[in-house]
Amino acid sequence: MRPEIKRFDSSSPLEDMLEGLDRDGAAALLDVIDPDLVRQIDVDLAPYLDTARANPAGNGPSRIGAVIAKTLNVVPILQSRLLNRICKRFLLVDSSCYQLSAIHLIEVQPGSPQGTVHRDDAIWPMRGPRSIAVINFLLPITDFTMENGATRVILGSHRWPRDPAKIMPGRLELDVVEPVKQDDLVATPMPSGSIFPVLGGCLHCSGANTTGAPRRALSISVSLGWLRQEENQYLAVPYDRLCELPDDVQQLIGYRVHVPYLGHTGLD
């Protein structure tokens, strides 16, 4: 039988959810954030969509970056207990802190084919044994359906062996030993208000959008605190906006030292 993505909700024991995420590499967490907040983020980012649609990344979905510069409504999500519990569980194993690596709105256009299957941790080209380097928290803005491009994942693929010969700095070749089978990619519908965390090694992509309407999601990637961030938050968040952020979010975007002194600015 084809494996299915496990679905949890706000009444599920946290430990069950963490265990499922550890085992499968991805899990659907339904009804865990206020859909009105997500709707407001969508409204705040709408003025940037035309530019994003005119400049899609390659042939892939359209993206809006530097989201914190564009809306403060993401702050409660970055501070949410659930997101932080998941980060603590998986990222504090090999790091003294975790940090925001990137925050994007992703829009899959009507008629778009399935995205490229990838691992989010491939941007850090390490050939040896790996820690969990990053977690991508995908938040449906428009409800995810099987037809409009709900994220596809290969459950358990974060534990697959990798081919070191395919891991090359500056290239993003898929480091799988056996070719990926389309049949292994699974998805689950998720309404807005859900979070879909995907561990960095778990193979995934956006689904094809066969409907007439765009599919939008917020992608919040959180990485080990000692890695180079995917999106340079020191430049993406202007100083005036930085000053508006609560201390914990300033730290999350990188304004902190990784113990004992990584990232210090002076020894006096």
Residues at the interface with ligand AKG (CB under 6 A): 61, 106, 115, 120, 136, 138, 151, 204-206, 217, 219
Whole-number minimum distance, CB 215 to ligand AKG, in Å? Answer: 8
For residue 88, report the phi and psi dihedrals to the nearest 5 degrees: -60, -45
Whole-number minimum distance, CB 266 to ligand AKG, in Å? Answer: 36
Indicate the pairing of strand 7-9 with strand 28-30: parallel
Whole-number minimum distance, CB 206 to ligand AKG, in Å? Answer: 4
- Decide whether 97 or 108 has the Cβ nearer to ligand AKG: 108
Instruction: Tokens for 15, please give them.
Output: 């430990």
DSSP state of 212: S
First to last CA, the chain: 62
Whole-number minimum distance, CB 157 to ligand AKG, in Å? Answer: 13
Burial of 164 from C-beta contacts in 10 A (0-12 / 13-18 / 19+): exposed
Task: Indicate the helix (H) or strand (E) that contains 248.
Answer: helix 247-252
Cα–Cα distance between 248 and 149 in angstroms, integer?
33
- Decide whether 95 or 206 has the Cβ nearer to ligand AKG: 206
Whole-number minimum distance, CB 219 to ligand AKG, in Å? Answer: 4
Whole-number minimum distance, CB 187 to ligand AKG, in Å? Answer: 9
The secondary structure of 124-166, three-state, reads CCCCCCCCCCEEEEEEECCCECCCCCCCEECCCHHHCCECHHH
- Decide whether 112 or 258 has the Cβ nearer to ligand AKG: 112
- Decide whether 146 or 259 has the Cβ nearer to ligand AKG: 146
- Decide whether 222 or 245 has the Cβ nearer to ligand AKG: 222
DSSP state of 6: -
- Decide whether 6 or 152 has the Cβ nearer to ligand AKG: 152
